[in-house]
Amino acid sequence: MSTVILERYYLQCLSHASYLVGDEASGQAVVVDPRRDVEEYLSDAAARGVRIVGVINTHLHADFVAGHLELAAATGAWIGYGRRADAAFEFRPLAHGERIALGEVELQVLETPGHTWESISVVVRERPGAAPHAVLTGDAMFIGDVGRPDLAAAAGSSAQDLARALYHSVHDVLLRLPDPTLVMPAHGAGSACGKNLSTELVSTIGAQRHTNPSVRPMSEEQFVAELTVGQPLAPAYFSDDVQLNRSLHSLLATGAPLPGLRAEDLPGSGTVVIDSRVPDEFAGGHLRGSINVGLDGRFAETAGMVAGLDERIVVVAEPGREQETRTRLGRIGFDNVVGYVAWPLPRAGLAGGRTDTAERVDVGELEQARRRGAIVLDVRNPDEVEQGAVPGSVRIPLPHLRRRMEELPNGERIVVYCASGWRSSVAASLMRWAGFADVCDVRGGYDEWSRRYHPAPA
């Protein structure tokens, strides 16, 4: 008798779920929507006594670079995509209704276009003819939402066309599965691949039918209208990652140690220094011109907002965390990490005078600066701003800041805030890197400002 394996792997920093699916009796398994650092899949497969024979991507991902090439190189597994995918490497085109046998455990392919044209979902059955145990929905249906129809993977098509396709994928395909079927998507709350994703990582078709506002009974026109507005802003690297996922690119470097560098010997132009420490530690002392993207936040996604795929990167990290920093950058295709600087620096010479501090102010000082005419910059997303903002603030969301900084006057006092003080440290350091002379950010952010100056009604 088969014993189905259905193991989820979740990266909180990218809100990304991948899955190991297999049959313990036959010793065969596939990995669905893998990340690039594949050692955990390989280790778990070996511990379970199964061999990874296939890798399935539910679509050409935009928010991360998938690990299909790494897994294929390590195991000889075939790579599967929906039949409408366009890729520069050999892959198994998967068509609607196709069944894949892993011993007794059976996978069935459902074409569910809408997030992208090639999107598929994968039904898992414990044996042929059994009721569906689970459906791995990729980015077609999330817990609490459905996939957005407007990302770069859909170049050449309108968001309205894709939204119409997704309406039929949801109502004519996914919602026709039995109510007890587990729903296991590729992303959770925080992902930019949808706008109202739940923090829950698994649900059922029946529960989603009754609680997911995006799949409730509605007309196709209403679905399209709701889905094509209010989507979160996508970082610039998303379009790059779609192309990487199509291409036969180099594998993630995991073996060679990252070279240690002296602060005074860093490469020159074309290099971005990313300091992965927490904002307060960064403010207390850092390399001049470095950009603060804390490793304990949404590190990779945010780094992809402030650095370019073609730029060399040097990371500043706490001792022992430099390899983790490189791996997390590699997950979004930022492979050009040339070395790291360990912090704290040796005291002797203080890196030849290349260190600096950053000014962080509290909300009281924000109010004083605002009344004195300082420019107050809000780097939150539009949906956050709709809930309230500091009066008179200029609004440039962080994903757009690097290309829109010319809208701000250099030479005037600029006070930057976000919700809590993490993104504002990113933004203020990015502006100082670009040459803005008088920039500070607000510790506690809008959350603290609204508690003190705009209290909610009792």
Q: What is the pLDDT of residues 90-114, one digit of tens each?
A: 999 999 999 999 999 999 999 999 9
In the chain, where are the structural domains located?
4-246, 263-356, 360-453
- Kindly indicate the confidence band of residue 55, based on its pLDDT and cuts at 50, 70 and 90: very high
Can you give the pLDDT at residue 255? Answer: 75
Q: Give the mean pLDDT of the chain.
A: 93
pLDDT at 194 over 90: no
Which of 30-34, 225-229, 382-386 is the most confident on average? 30-34
Can you give the pLDDT at residue 1? Answer: 54
Which of 83-92, 148-157, 265-274, 338-347 is the most confident on average? 83-92
pLDDT at 453 over 50: yes
The CATH H-level superfamily of 4-246 is Ribonuclease Z/Hydroxyacylglutathione hydrolase-like (3.60.15.10)
Tell me how far apart the terminal alpha carbons of the chain are, to the nearest angstrom: 61
- Intrachain domains 263-356 and 360-453 with the same fold: yes
CATH for 360-453 is 3.40.250.10
Can you give the pLDDT at residue 353? Answer: 64
Can you give the pLDDT at residue 456? Answer: 58
Count of other CB atoms within 10 angstroms of residue 10: 12
pLDDT at 263 over 90: no
Tokens read off for 234: 């996508």
Range 263-356 classified under CATH 3.40.250.10: yes
pLDDT at 294 over 50: yes
- Kindly indicate the confidence band of residue 457, based on its pLDDT and cuts at 50, 70 and 90: low
DSSP-derived letter for residue 407 is G
- Kindly indicate the confidence band of residue 352, based on its pLDDT and cuts at 50, 70 and 90: low
Report the sign of the C-alpha dihedral through residues 84, 89, 90, 94, in that order. negative
pLDDT at 351 over 60: no
Can you give the pLDDT at residue 196? Answer: 84
pLDDT at 348 over 50: no
Can you give the pLDDT at residue 164? Answer: 96
Q: Look-up: residue for tokens 């002392």?
A: 285
CB 137 within 8 A of CB 185: yes
pLDDT at 245 over 60: yes
Percent of the chain exceeding pLDDT 90 equals: 85
Which tops the pLDDT comparison, 79 or 229?
79
pLDDT at 154 over 70: no
pLDDT at 181 over 60: yes
pLDDT tens per residue, range 268-281: 778 999 999 999 99
Can you give the pLDDT at residue 153? Answer: 46
Rg for the chain, CA atoms, rounded: 24
Can you give the pLDDT at residue 345? Answer: 81
Can you give the pLDDT at residue 349? Answer: 47
pLDDT at 2 over 70: no
DSSP 35-48: -S--HHHHHHHHHH
- Kindly indicate the confidence band of residue 230, based on its pLDDT and cuts at 50, 70 and 90: confident
Can you give the pLDDT at residue 446? Answer: 97
- Kindly indicate the confidence band of residue 366, based on its pLDDT and cuts at 50, 70 and 90: very high
Can you give the pLDDT at residue 109? Answer: 98
Average pLDDT over residues 135-160: 87
Q: In terms of C-beta distances under 8 Å and separation of at least 24 residues, what long-range contacts does 353-356 make, across chains too?
A: 354/263, 354/264, 354/287, 354/288, 355/263, 355/285, 355/286, 355/287, 355/288, 356/285, 356/286, 356/287, 356/288
